[in-house]
């Protein structure tokens, strides 16, 4: 009997090993099948969070020196302030590279409020290009001097843009928040600007994004100030505004580098993730920031081991990685595809049994 027991133990171990190998092979096959339509790193666009044919057409026209499609797109946005500020940002970023077409636009329409706000925001984009994306300690005095000089110039441009804007337009106010951040404006000054923004658009996503950055520890605030700002915004916002995302963004910004992986599974994090998922589910389909929310949700859900739910978000944004958290990395597409592979493998393993 004593000689048989070791054989039984070996047989049992061999059985489980073979079953494990079969399950792994089945999962590998399922992963290949499930992920067949997902794109490789080299086919991920780092410029956008989602496909936007209108914005791409506008940029193509600008590359030909044609400003009229940009003017038409901004006019068509009307009082959709989310879309308007998004398009202003897209067009202004291109003007920071070459503003020949913008000068032609201004010459043709000297008092056009759209051209004025694009001009002002282009100054801010240019200032940040001058500064560069490095840490303050790695940024030269010359770069900082140019950065601050252009930001101070942009103040006057925004004052003019605000004077030309519709009374209810928050755009020339909310786009000043990065300027205030760059100049380390006092908290009271930011609060006064914020009052102008929220009087016109109290639940504007991009405005809250910029403000959260200002209040974060790496800029003009602290972890506590950022957390409180995000919590208050989420508590007051209507469903579908996507502002429930900001407590999650604040946590990621201040904790992701040092928090253990299991932190994403803590009850607090699961509750924040669920709130954001519920918000996305009822957001209007054309909201220009829905995809940005989905990107961070895909990351958080993967970290929580909720691989099927993560994969659902990945499928909705695949092909575009110009969003948090990927854009914080030197190779956004590679990191995106790595995290997506974790979700894919987890989903396939569960499906394989």
In a structure prediction context, what are the per-residue pLDDT tens digits for the chain, which is 353 residues long? 556 656 555 655 655 545 555 454 554 555 566 777 899 999 999 999 999 999 999 999 999 999 999 999 999 999 999 999 999 999 999 999 999 999 999 999 999 999 999 999 999 999 999 998 887 888 888 989 999 999 999 999 999 999 999 999 999 999 999 999 999 999 999 999 999 999 999 999 999 999 999 999 999 999 999 999 999 999 999 999 999 999 999 999 999 888 888 899 999 999 999 999 999 999 998 899 999 999 999 999 999 999 999 999 999 999 999 999 999 999 999 999 999 999 999 998 876 65
Within 13 A of 82's CA, how many CA atoms are on the CB side?
A: 18
**Token pair listed for 109:** 């329409």
What's the DSSP call for residue 40? P
- How much of the chain is in helix, strand and coil states, percent to nearest 5? 75, 0, 25
Predicted TM-score of the model (pTM): 0.89
Residue with tokens 């429930």: 244
**Token pair listed for 112:** 């056009």
Residue 13 and residue 19: Cα distance in Å, rounded? 10
**Token pair listed for 243:** 């502002």
What's the DSSP call for residue 240? T
Coil/strand/helix, residue 320: strand
Query: Which residues are CB-neighbours of 24 under 8 A, at least 6 positions away?
Result: none
DSSP string covering 122-150, please?
HHHHHHHHHH-SS-GGGS-HHHHHHHHHH
Burial-class residue 81 by CB neighbours within 10 Å (0-12, 13-18, 19+): buried
What's the DSSP call for residue 45? B
């Amino acid at each position: 009997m004593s000689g048989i027991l070791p054989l039984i133990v070996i047989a049992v171990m061999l059985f489980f090993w073979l079953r494990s190998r079969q399950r792994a092979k089945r999962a590998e096959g399922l992963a290949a099948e499930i992920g067949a339509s997902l794109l490789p790193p080299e086919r991920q666009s780092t410029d956008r969070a989602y496909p936007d044919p209108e914005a791409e057409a506008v940029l193509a026209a600008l590359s030909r020196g044609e400003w009229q499609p940009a003017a038409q797109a901004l006019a068509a946005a009307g009082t959709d302030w989310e879309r308007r500020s998004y398009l202003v940002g897209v067009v202004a970023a291109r003007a920071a590279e070459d503003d020949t077409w913008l000068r032609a636009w201004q010459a043709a329409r000297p008092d056009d409020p759209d051209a004025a706000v694009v001009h002002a925001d282009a100054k801010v984009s240019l200032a940040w290009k001058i500064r560069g994306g490095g840490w303050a300690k790695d940024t030269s005095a010359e770069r900082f001097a140019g950065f601050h000089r252009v930001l101070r110039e942009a103040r006057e441009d925004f004052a003019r843009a605000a004077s030309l804007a519709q009374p209810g337009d928050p755009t020339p106010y909310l786009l000043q928040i990065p300027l205030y951040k760059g100049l380390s404006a006092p908290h009271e000054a930011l609060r006064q600007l914020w009052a102008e923004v929220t009087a016109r658009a109290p639940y504007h996503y991009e405005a809250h994004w910029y403000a959260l950055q200002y209040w974060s520890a790496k800029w003009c605030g602290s972890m506590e100030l950022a957390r409180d700002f995000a919590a208050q915004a989420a508590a007051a916002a209507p469903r579908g505004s996507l502002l429930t995302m900001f407590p999650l963004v604040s946590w990621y910004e201040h904790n992701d580098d040092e928090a253990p992986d299991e932190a994403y599974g803590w009850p607090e994090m699961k509750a924040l993730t669920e709130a954001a998922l519920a918000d996305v589910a009822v957001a209007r389909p054309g909201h220009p920031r829905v995809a940005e929310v989905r990107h961070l949700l895909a990351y958080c859900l993967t970290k929580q081991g909720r691989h099927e739910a993560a994969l659902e978000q990945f499928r909705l944004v695949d092909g575009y990685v110009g969003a948090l958290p990927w854009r914080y990395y030197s190779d956004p597409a590679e990191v995106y595809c790595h995290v997506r592979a974790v979700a894919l493998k987890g989903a396939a393993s569960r499906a394989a049994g």
